[in-house]
Amino acid sequence: MTTTTNNKSPNVGAIVIIAVAVALNLVLAVLMARWSYSWFPPQASSAAPYVDDLFALETGIGSFLWFGLTGVIGWTLLFNRAPKYDESYGEPIEGNNRLEITWTVIPTVIVFAIAIYSMQVNDKLDALGPKQKYALGTDPATVAAVDPRATVGPIDVIARQWSWEFIYPDGVRSSELHLPINQRVNFRLISEDVNHSFYVPAFRLKQDIIPGSVISYSLTPTREGRFRLRDAMFSGAYFSQNQTDVIVESDEAYSSWLKATAKQPLQPGLSPGSDLYAKRLANGDKGWATVPPAPAPLVNDPGDASIPHDA
Amino acid sequence: MTSTKFDPRILKAPHPVPGAPDNWKRFFSFNTDAKVIGIQYIATSLLFLLVGGLLAMIVRGELITPPADLVDPTVYNGLYTMHGTVMLFLFLFPVLNGLNNLLIPTMIGAPDMAFPRLNAAAFWLVPVFAVLLMGSFFLPGGPAQAGWWSYPPISIQNPMGLFFNGEQLWLLAVALSGISSIFGAINFVTTIVRMRAPGMGFFKMPLYCWTAWGAQIIQLIGLPALTGGAIMLLFDLSFGTSFFRPEGGGDPVLYQHFFWFYSHPAVYVMVLPVFGIFSEVFTCYARKPLFGYKFVALASFGIVFLSLIVWVHHMFYTGTPNWMRILFMFTTMTIAVPTGVKVFAWVATLWGGKLRLTTPMLFCLGGLINFIFAGITGVMLGTVPIDIHVGNTYFVVAHFHYVIFNAIVLGVFAAVYHWFPKFTGHMYYEGLGKLHFALTFIGCTLNWLPLHWAGLLGMPRRVASYDPEFAIWNVIASIGAFMLGVAAIPFILNMVSSWARGPQSPPNPWGAIGLEWLLPSPPPAENFEDDVPTVINNPYGYGLGEPQVADEEYYIRRAQEA
SS3 B503: coil
Determine the structural domain holding residue A106 and report its residue range: 12-79+97-125
SS3 B350: helix
What order do you get walking across the sheet with A196-200 strand by strand? A177-180, A243-249, A225-231, A196-200, A205-209
Pair (A117, A20) in one structural domain: yes
Pair (A114, A163) in one structural domain: no
A209/A127 Cα distance (integer angstroms): 14
B362/A258 Cα distance (integer angstroms): 63
Q: Is B4 on the interface with A (CB under 8 A)?
A: no
Which residues in chain A have Cβ-Cβ distances shorter than 8 Å to B538? 94
B218, part of any domain: yes
A5, part of any domain: no
B446, part of any domain: yes
pLDDT exceeds 70 at position A248: yes
Which ranges of B114-251 would DSSP assign to H, the alpha helix? 116-135, 166-194, 207-239
A4, part of any domain: no
Q: In Å, how far is A157's CA from the nearest CA of chain B?
A: 15
**Total domains, chain B:** 1
- Using pLDDT thresholds of 50, 70 and 90, give the confidence band for residue B2: very low
B85/B335 Cα distance (integer angstroms): 26
Would you give the DSSP letter of residue A218?
E
What order do you get walking across the sheet with A173-174 strand by strand? A128-133, A213-219, A185-191, A152-160, A163-167, A173-174
Q: Which of A11, A94, A120 to mutate to test the interface with B (most CBs of B within 10 A)?
A: A94
Give the end-to-end CA distance of chain A in Å, rounded to a whole number: 62
Find the mean pLDDT for residues B330-351: 97
Judged by phi (left if over 0) then psi (alpha if -120 to 50, else beta), residue A220 lies in beta
B340, part of any domain: yes
Nearest C-alpha neighbor of B267 from the set B230, B310, B228: B310
Q: What is the CA radius of gyration of chain B?
A: 23
Number of residues that this document lists for chain A: 311
The predicted-structure confidence for B109-136, as pLDDT tens digits, reads as follows: 999 999 999 999 999 999 999 999 999 9
Domain of A157, CATH number, reads 2.60.40.420
Q: In Å, how far is A256's CA from the nearest CA of chain B?
A: 30
Return all residues near B4 (Cβ < 8 A) that are at least 6 apart: B197, B198, B530, B532
Pair (A139, A223) in one structural domain: yes
Q: State percent of chain B over pLDDT 90.
A: 91
Distance of CA B423 to the CA centre of its chain: 19
Return all residues near A188 (Cβ < 8 A) that are at least 6 apart: A140, A143, A145, A154, A155, A156, A157, A214, A215, A216, A217
A90, part of any domain: no
Q: Which of B136, B349, B389, B445 to mutate to test the interface with A (most CBs of A within 10 A)?
A: B389
Residue A58's pLDDT is 97
CA closest to A52 among chain B residues: B386
B53, part of any domain: yes
Pair (A34, A172) in one structural domain: no
Residues 491-520 of B with CB under 8 A from A: 511
A65/B380 Cα distance (integer angstroms): 14
Which residues in chain A have Cβ-Cβ distances shorter than 8 Å to B395? none
A75/A72 Cα distance (integer angstroms): 5
The predicted-structure confidence for A121-174, as pLDDT tens digits, reads as follows: 999 998 998 888 888 878 887 787 778 899 998 999 999 999 999 999 999 999
Domain of B236, CATH number, reads 1.20.210.10
Would you give the DSSP letter of residue B322?
H
Q: In Å, how far is B50's CA from the nearest CA of chain A?
A: 23
Answer yes or no: are the C-beta atoms of A90 and A60 closer than 8 Å.
Answer: no
Q: How many CB atoms lie within 10 A of CB B19?
A: 10
Nearest C-alpha neighbor of B122 from the set B191, B168, B63, B53: B191
Longest dimension (CA), chain B: 72
Which residues in chain A have Cβ-Cβ distances shorter than 8 Å to B462? 234, 239-240
Mean pLDDT of chain B: 94
Q: In Å, how far is A270's CA from the nearest CA of chain B?
A: 17
Pair (A147, A65) in one structural domain: no
Dihedral (CA of B63, B64, B69, B75) sign: negative
pLDDT exceeds 80 at position A272: yes
Q: Which uninterrupted H or E stretch holds A196? A: strand A196-200
Q: What is the DSSP string of B399-440?
A: HHHIIIIIIIIHHHHHHHHHHHHHHHSBPPPHHHHHHHHHHH
The predicted-structure confidence for B496-517, as pLDDT tens digits, reads as follows: 999 999 999 999 999 999 999 9
Pair (A202, A295) in one structural domain: yes
A217/A196 Cα distance (integer angstroms): 14
Pair (A55, A115) in one structural domain: yes
Answer yes or no: are the C-beta atoms of B278 and B367 closer than 8 Å.
Answer: yes
B1, part of any domain: no
- Using pLDDT thresholds of 50, 70 and 90, give the confidence band for residue A253: very high
B296/B510 Cα distance (integer angstroms): 23
Pair (A121, A145) in one structural domain: no
A192, part of any domain: yes
pLDDT exceeds 70 at position B6: no
Long-range contacts of A78-87 (CB under 8 A, 24+ apart): A80/B286, A80/B350, A80/B351, A80/B352, A80/B353, A80/B354, A80/B355, A81/B354, A81/B355, A81/B356, A81/B357, A82/B287, A82/B354, A82/B355, A82/B356, A86/B354, A87/B511
Contact yes or no for B246 and A211 at CB 8 A: yes
Answer yes or no: are the C-beta atoms of B141 and B160 closer than 8 Å.
Answer: yes
Determine the structural domain holding residue B541 and report its residue range: 8-561
Distance of CA B21 to the CA centre of its chain: 27
Q: What is the DSSP string of A230-295?
A: EE-S--STTGGG-EEEEEEE-HHHHHHHHHHHHTSPPEE---HHHHHHHHHHHTTS-SS--PPPPP
SS3 A6: coil
A206, part of any domain: yes
Phi and psi torsions of B489, nearest 5°: -65, -55
pLDDT exceeds 60 at position B348: yes
Number of residues that this document lists for chain B: 562
How does strand A185-191 pair with strand A152-160?
parallel
Distance of CA B180 to the CA centre of its chain: 15
**Total domains, chain A:** 2
Contact yes or no for A205 and B151 at CB 8 A: no
B3, part of any domain: no
Pair (A280, A165) in one structural domain: yes
A212, part of any domain: yes
B119/B195 Cα distance (integer angstroms): 15
The predicted-structure confidence for A27-47, as pLDDT tens digits, reads as follows: 999 999 999 999 999 999 999
pLDDT exceeds 60 at position A4: no
